[in-house]
A and B are shown apart, each in its own frame.
Chain A
């Protein structure tokens, strides 16, 4: 069925793909299979209450597995059965969702018109992305025009970092730490997994009883809800996990394994400085909690990598006066 939609190749093909997926849930009786999904795996479905860390300890253990294909994820498996998707199709769907979410996010956050800056961040980001397991994604690293301090990992490999956060950074190692964290989110499909589960609930209730002509707007409604996942944030355990994976990825590329501490210290210091990190604070554990969690997760090989890289000064040399 999905093949049919994809073969149409029109410029609305991504919408049709999604429509097909949503219909697939409806026809496959996905509602029944929602039952086994635990609260820990759908952290924010019930609203902000899920963010207050009650289930934090449990889900830290649950998500403690190496990065890579999420075949053991019940949602992924369920999704595969219901939509009868191959792995390739699943990646294609992730890319489609990513493009939809990116178009929305870019509606609020415009790329900074500075080619030198964008190329720099792109090269640093790409060099870290290739240290991971999803080298072949169409990675993009984009500085967006906002004074707020934040960064976003969109499904499929588009990473946005605000000018406000870039301005906070002192070294290329710190930029690498930030990008490593975001790359880790994409590798683990943190946002995409939430989107997929949310699609089952929101998509199905909305689709039930909707006329065909209404379904197109429901698809864009779905993309809007997927965008809200970016605005609402993830479970705390996913952020700790991205912190850990992120420093490993950046350190593999040759950067200082302690650079993330510097970033978190700066984020912490920005609280009360008048800089806007409010969205970041509301979607992440506190910087101090992250420092302490990351500090406790350090291994001897990572401690050995606690050396400022030879390229550390490139950021300031080009972009600071």
Chain B
């Protein structure tokens, strides 16, 4: 949308606006298409569930999946994963799938090879400085940076105006509780 401003309204150069339009399409269309998404990786059915032909509750049933059945999640659309199983593929409710963890939370490093395509052992991060707990707890206070941050206030009106420009409309929604039947964690 910002790109539109580049073509000044006074100049009616058809070619220029054609290029601008092309550029807009080029940049925005990929955003609107369902993304191929990142490889979600291996997992299993978290409970006995149903695999469907499309990502919606009313879609035809492809197969019943037993709890613990191995699968690979390929992509997500809303609350649904497209999965592959040995017996074929389909869509399963996200909450019925348990993905294998790609990280070793205890060590804080992703040294586990999970078998998923792109992720293997962690590579050296030399050259890109990370952030450790010690960096934070050992930091010296920076009052100037704090003053700078305090000066960065955005008023609710400014925020509301920007939301409005983006076409956002607020909704009424209640907070949700923790699921009562949630399975215990890995450990």
A interface vs B, CB < 8 Å? 52-54, 56-57, 60-61, 63-64, 66-67, 99-100, 102-111, 118-119, 122-127, 130-131, 135, 138-142, 146-148, 150, 158, 162, 170-172, 223-224, 227-228, 230-232, 236-237, 240-241, 244-245, 248, 251-255, 258, 261-262, 265-266, 268-269, 271-279, 281-282, 284-289, 291-293, 295-299, 301-303, 305-306, 309-314, 316-318
Q: How far is the CB of B78 from chain A (nearest CB, A)?
A: 4
Main secondary structure of the interface of B (DSSP, over half): loop
Q: Quick check: B31 and A142 within 8 Å, CB to CB?
A: no
How many residues on chain B are close to A (CB under 8 Å)? 97
Q: Quick check: A140 and B119 within 8 Å, CB to CB?
A: no
Select the stretch in B14-22, B62-70, B100-108 that faces chain A. B100-108
- Which residues of B sit under 8 angstroms from A138, Cβ to Cβ? 150, 153
Q: Quick check: A148 and B131 within 8 Å, CB to CB?
A: yes
Other contacts beyond A230-B136, A306-B78: 10, CB < 8 A: A123-B159, A127-B162, A130-B156, A138-B153, A258-B76, A271-B122, A279-B108, A291-B99, A292-B98, A301-B173
Determine if B88 is an interface residue (Cβ-Cβ < 8 Å): no
Q: How far is the CA of A54 from the CA of B108 in the complex (A)?
A: 18
Top 4 nearest A-B pairs by Cβ distance?
A311-B166, A276-B130, A271-B110, A310-B167
Q: Of B146, B174, B184, which one neighbours A103 at CB under 8 angstroms?
A: B146
Q: A230-B136, A254-B170, A276-B125 are in contact. Are A281 and B110 (CB under 8 A)?
A: yes
Chain B's closest residue to A240 (CB) is B178
Q: Quick check: A127 and B108 within 8 Å, CB to CB?
A: no
Determine which residue in B93, B97, B122, B134 has the highest number of CB atoms from chain A within 10 A of its CB, and name it.
B122
B interface vs A, CB < 8 Å? 1-3, 27-28, 31-32, 35, 37-41, 43, 46, 76, 78-79, 93-95, 97-110, 114, 118-125, 128-143, 145-146, 148-150, 152-156, 158-160, 162-163, 165-179, 181-187
Q: How far is the CA of A268 from the CA of B109 in the complex (A)?
A: 12
Q: How far is the CA of A163 from the CA of B80 in the complex (A)?
A: 30
